[in-house]
Amino acid sequence: MTRFVAFLRGVNLGRRTVHGADLQRVFAGLGFAEVRTLLASGNVAFTAAVGDDAGLAAGIEAGLQQAFGFPIGTVLRSREQLQALVASRPFGEQREHHDLKLYVTLLAEPKAHLLALPCGIAGDFEVVKVTDREIFHEAYRQANGRYGAGATLIGKPFGKTVLWTNRNWNTIVKAAAA
């Protein structure tokens, strides 16, 4: 048995609200054990028999579509993969503060090489590290109080051909411990 975290794309945005209790019910109904939601942004920790990520994600997506009536993309990482990400310290000594947030774009496939590097906009965001399936970026506080456009712009090269989703670095750290 392996501990996984499913990072769901595009839930709890607008009318696509999915409650944690409903997610737990669906995941348990799919036969997963120790199901637990993390935060309120579409993250589900669960235990499953080891299988290929693509097949596992496809089964979850089919179950979510049936339960909620709309497609929900699913990017999976095992707890061990998340722990390795955290241990790799992709942001070095950098820590979040009032004017800076740290984000990760998680890709379902090893296609991060499609992002042209260097990537960033001065004073807005900067990509600081790329692996096969992750893009780590810093976002700077803007005059309107929001943080850089990196989370939106980084996904553009992948369009609809590669499933991706963004998470705050603190979410990844919590998911690695789940």
Task: State percent of the chain over pLDDT 90.
Answer: 75
The Cβ-side half-sphere exposure at 63, using a 13 Å CA radius, reads 19
Q: Domain boundaries in the chain?
A: 2-81, 87-177
Q: What is residue 178's predicted lDDT score, i.e. its pLDDT? A: 83
pLDDT band at 11 (very low <50, low <70, confident <90, very high): confident
Cβ–Cβ under 8 Å, residues 45 and 73: no
Reported as a single tens digit per residue, the pLDDT across 148-175 is 988 788 888 887 888 999 999 999 999 9
Nearest to 85 by CA among 112, 64, 49: 112
Please state which CATH number belongs to domain 2-81: 3.30.70.1280
